[in-house]
Amino acid sequence: MRLPRMIAVTLAGASVLLPAAACSSEEPAAGQAPQAATAAPTPTEQETPAGEPHPFTGKPGAPLRPVLTAKIENTAAGKPQLGLKSADIVYVTQVEAGLTRLIAVFSSKIPAKIGPVRSARISDLHLAPQFGKPAFAYSGAQTKMLPFIAQASLFDVSDSRVPGAYFRQPGRVAPYNLFANTKRLLAGAPKASKAKDIGFTFGDAPAEGGVERTSYTVKWPAARFTFAWSAAKKQWLIWQDGKKDMAAEGGQLGAPTIVVQYTKTERSQFHDKNQSYTPLVRTVGKGSAIVLRDGKAYKARWERRSEESGTTFTTADGEPMNFAPGQVWVALASRTPVTP
């Protein structure tokens, strides 16, 4: 692993166009009884060399565990979410009707439970290959998408493949009450790839180029995120649609680094039962980005050469755009919000 250059965040997918996943109507119905989990060997871990940072967070000494990715609900009906505080990376992606969902990436820390778990989309499948072959937790997919999921670079640990890992959380309404036990999810993918360099770099902020900001707002057609700097917590605290984004574990969600990656969003070939088309977020190529860290906003460039490679971020001078160690949120947005 390269020294400070550690995570290549690649939004990758299979070489085939990977379809979008189903809507809530195709997710398990309320009351569906989970089956008992089948015993499986616990995935092995590998310690990071002493003093070498973890590729996803830049923090030293964390074990190189298998990578678990999960599709998480992101509307008011599904909040507060459980497990996001432990994620190494959280992607915000657009889905139908201009709304957003989250793709949480876990490895250095694996919480016991996560949720609400929701259905997959095409952008999830394009994200996976940068991690090798991670475990992918989701609930439901369009029937015509299933062959593409089978070909994607991931291990399918959905509710239909590993039903014993999922349960209905009391006090929540379907379909926003489906949660998962991460130990059982990973037991269903014993060969899931371990964490590796995906292109991110961590370290000191650039000496020049940053503009002091107290907040930064990113918009999608039907969602709005505001990231507000907290000097006391050394994090960008998160608001969604004007409300504090709270965690089920307690406290407000936030991260030391927020990446606003401006990408091209177009209509995919997939749509839901209401003929609302699924967006396809193009993450291979080049583009502009804003990196928020230490109370400043930095203009950056991103580049991803292939679906299998990671995404690198550089300054205007072509130097690595270092992130602050810790959790990273990547908001995949368009300069002009569009519902394809």
CB half-sphere exposure, 109, CA atoms < 13 A: 16
**How are beta strands 46-47 and 63-64 bridged, if at all?**
antiparallel
Q: Are 21 and 143 in contact (CB under 8 A)?
A: no
Q: Which fold has domain 5-26+49-333?
A: YerB-like fold (3.50.90)
Element of type H or E holding 100 = strand 100-106
Q: Are 135 and 189 in contact (CB under 8 A)?
A: yes
CB half-sphere exposure, 189, CA atoms < 13 A: 26
Pick from 165, 109, 105: which is nearest to 135 by CA? 105
Q: Are 20 and 121 in contact (CB under 8 A)?
A: yes
pTM across the whole model: 0.85
- The answer to whether the bond into 116 is cis (omega within 30° of 0) is yes
Collect the ranges in the chain with pLDDT lower than 70.
1-51
